[in-house]
Structure formats: structure tokens, C-alpha cells
Amino acid sequence: MTFLQPYFLWGALAVAIPVVIHFWHQKKGKPLAWAATQWLVEKNQQQQRGLKLDNVLLLLLRCLLILLLAVLLSQLVIPKLGSKADIRPLHLVQPDALVLSNFRFELEEAAKRGEKLYWINETVEPIDKPDQLPEKKQFSPLFLQAAIDKIRQEDTPIHVYVLNNDKLATVPAIYVPSQHTLHTLPDSVAKPRSYLSTKAGQKLFVNGSGKLTSSTVLDPAVRFNPAPAHTGPLRVLLDYRNEREQQTVRAALAALSDVYDLDLAVDRERSQATVYDWVFTDQPVVRPAASTLYMISGTLGYPTTSNMQYSERPFTPQTNDLVASGQLPEWLGEQLVQYYELQPDAAVLSQQELKNLFVVSNRSDKKPQTLVHNALLLLFIVLILTERWIALTKNA
């Protein structure tokens, strides 16, 4: 038996109040002539000052009410019957083919033992088949934190299966329960890099030196995917209400196109028949398309998916330092590289860095028990009604 708010138990000391009142808050007796007592309706209820126990039941009820109120505010939790052997661990898995193939045996054995498995994605889907990836494969540390907060339970171990790379360190910390096990797989496998096929046979890629390059021939020292991540012109929509901001972004895109030979098809008005690859706007996006990169300015937000980027300030020289310093084209190029994953392979975090990143939270996972709380509340109401009835009938 534990309490979620044990400090409220100090309120039980207030039980001394009705005791003191009972002993000392008495009506002061006065000497009366014997003949006058026949007209006194309450002559038998006259109380005298002193340590005399009157109405003991009423005193006990009032003390019990204060004790019960302290227990209610402290949120009593009664442990469930059963042994710790009944507690089954929970498993969170990054939706990645490399993670799935490497930890497939552990996941299948956990499923056979009846332990629950979940994907670390936007919806925290339960894993029905450990050998198949879900449709939603997007992963971020924010999804991992949300998944931990959603499934964590008191005294229940959590196993986390993720790739070890510096993408995990894009958040200050990931808070985990004390009973957790981190299964990491070094993301050191040299994956093929992506590239873009632009106009006139040009290819946009990151070479072996880590520099963004536009050339007709890919770097032979780097392994690339057999097909480009995008072919042909990038369809861009400028959907700004501010004409100056629209002109600024258009000029930055023109500079980016000149440097890297990008083929940009820019529209200033939305066409319903066009599927855009890049959208710039200063308005909220209600239904974002999964295949479109959105640049939302003038809005404070944190990107929960890789295709949503926010800028707190509008893209004008007076409001944005990137524009004032002439770095807006470079910044837009970085966003394009990040979205199409043209950058080199991510670095692997050390064990100390992982330990500093995954922080054990001190919060309790115990939750108020509705049945126990309602039962105590009902008892409290019954005792109040009983105390009032006795007090009124005995005029005490």
C-alpha cells in the first residue's frame, strides 16, 4: 500500500482539532433556581467546562473524517495481487530493416512469451508480425520519447531496440524508467547514398569529402543507390501572403539553382493538378503530403517529421538573420540535403554519450486507482451525513 502524494498525510495531524474542541468548546454552566428548570427545554443538554467525554461516537466520526480526507488527498494505491513473475516486459522497436534483422530472434522469443512489442513511430503500433516492417517507417527521438511515455507502467521493464547514430542526439535527453534495457546496433554499415538527377544529365550528390557537388559523373569512391531519389525538375510552390517574403525566397532559390544546376519549376499560385516537391508558406499546413518538403515561416514549431521545417521569423531582411547575412540559399540547400538524405552516414555515439542521452526519470508510474478512490469518497460522504445527523439530533 503506497501513496502518490504522501505529503498530504501530514494533514492527519489535524485530528487533534475536534478533540480540543470537544473538550474545551463547552457551554458555560450557570447556577439556576430549582423552580426555573421546569421551563428549560434543554436542561439535560447543559455542558460544563472540563475534561469530560460526551458524545464519544460523534468525536470518533469527526476524527475519522479528517483521517479519511488526508488519505483521499494522498491518493492511496493498493498493489495488485500477484507475483512479480506476472510482470511481462515491454519492447519498443525502431522500424528499420537492419534493426529487425539483427534482433529478430530476440523479438520472436519475446512474442512467444506473450510480451508486448511496439513500433517506435507516430502511432506506436503494436507489432503483430516481427518479421514485417510497418507502413509508417519514420523514426525520430521525439517518437521514441512519446512511445516510452505512452506504454510505461509501474515495475515493468522496457527494452528499446534502435540504431546507434547521432540522429538520437538531436534532442537534449530521452527520459526512460529505471528498469530499462537499451539494445543498440551501430549504424556503421556503409549504406548507399542518395543523389538527385537534375537537368542536362547533372547529378547532385555529396562526394567523399562531404561536399555537396553537381556533376555528370558520381564520385567513384562512394557507393550510391542504383536509382536517384528524385529525377527531373523540383516542383516548388511559393504560397506567401507577404509579397516581400515571396520575392526574397524566390531570389534565394534562383541563387541555389545557379550554383548547383538545379531544375526548379516555381509556381506562385497553387495548381490542384500538380504534386509539389517543395512548398514554402507562412500559413499552417492542415493536411501535409508525405512526399512534400514544407518550409513554414513566421511560426514557432518543432518538426515532428522530416518533411516539416519551421522558421520562427519570416524570410525578410528586417526579420531574419539568414536573409540579412545572405545565408538563406545555403540554408535552403542544407534542408534539401537533409530531406533527401544526401548527407554522409551518421556517426556512432559512444557508450558514455548514450548513457548521458538516456536519462532515468524520477517520476512515479503509479496511477490513481479509480475504484479505491471512489470507494473512499463514498465512505467519506456517508460519514459526513452520519456526523451531521447525529450532531443535529443531539444538538452537539
pLDDT digits (tens, 9 = 90+) for 127-183: 988 888 888 888 889 999 999 999 988 778 999 999 988 888 888 999 999 889 999
> If pLDDT is split at 50, 70 and 90, which confidence band does 77 have?
low
In angstroms, how far is CA 244 from the centroid of its own chain?
37
Could you give the number of structural domains in the chain?
Answer: 3
232 and 318: one domain? yes
Task: Identify residue 257 by its one-letter amino acid code.
Answer: S
Compute CA distances 316 → 99, 270, 277, whole Å: 44, 22, 23
What is the distance between the alpha carbons of residues 82 and 10, in angstroms, rounded to a whole number?
A: 31
Do the Cβ atoms of 341 and 205 come closer than 8 Å?
no
- What pLDDT, in 10s, does the model give residues 342-354? 876 667 888 899 9
- What pLDDT, in 10s, does the model give residues 45-58? 555 444 555 677 77
> If pLDDT is split at 50, 70 and 90, which confidence band does 79 have?
low
207 and 301: one domain? yes
Angle among Cα 242, 245, 306 to the nearest 5 degrees reads 110
pLDDT, residue 38, reads 56
pLDDT, residue 50, reads 47
Task: Identify residue 155 by its one-letter amino acid code.
Answer: D
pLDDT at 26 over 70: no
257 and 383: one domain? no
Do the Cβ atoms of 11 and 66 come closer than 8 Å?
yes
22 and 131: one domain? no
pLDDT, residue 30, reads 59
Which regions of the chain does DSSP assign to beta strands (E)?
2-3, 76-77, 90-93, 116-119, 158-164, 174-176, 180-186, 196-197, 203-206, 212-215, 230-231, 234-239, 264-267, 278-281, 293-297, 308-311, 358-360
> If pLDDT is split at 50, 70 and 90, which confidence band does 377 have?
confident
Q: Please count the other Cβ atoms lying within 10 Å of the Cβ belonging to residue 160.
A: 21
266 and 325: one domain? yes
210 and 329: one domain? yes
pLDDT at 388 over 60: yes
173 and 283: one domain? no
The DSSP output letter for 88 is -
35 and 92: one domain? no
pLDDT, residue 361, reads 84
300 and 204: one domain? yes
What CATH number did the domain enclosing 250 receive?
A: 3.40.50
230 and 332: one domain? yes
What is the distance between the alpha carbons of residues 162 and 353, in angstroms, rounded to a whole number?
A: 15
Q: Give residues with Cβ within 8 angstroms of 375, minimum separation 6.
A: none
102 and 71: one domain? no
174 and 275: one domain? no
At 118, give phi and psi (nearest 5°). -135, 145
- The parent domain of residue 62 ranges over 2-78+369-394
Tally of CA atoms within 13 A in the half-sphere of 290 that contains its CB: 4
Q: Please count the other Cβ atoms lying within 10 Å of the Cβ belonging to residue 109.
A: 11
pTM for the complete prediction? 0.49
For residue 210, what is its C-alpha cell? 562531404
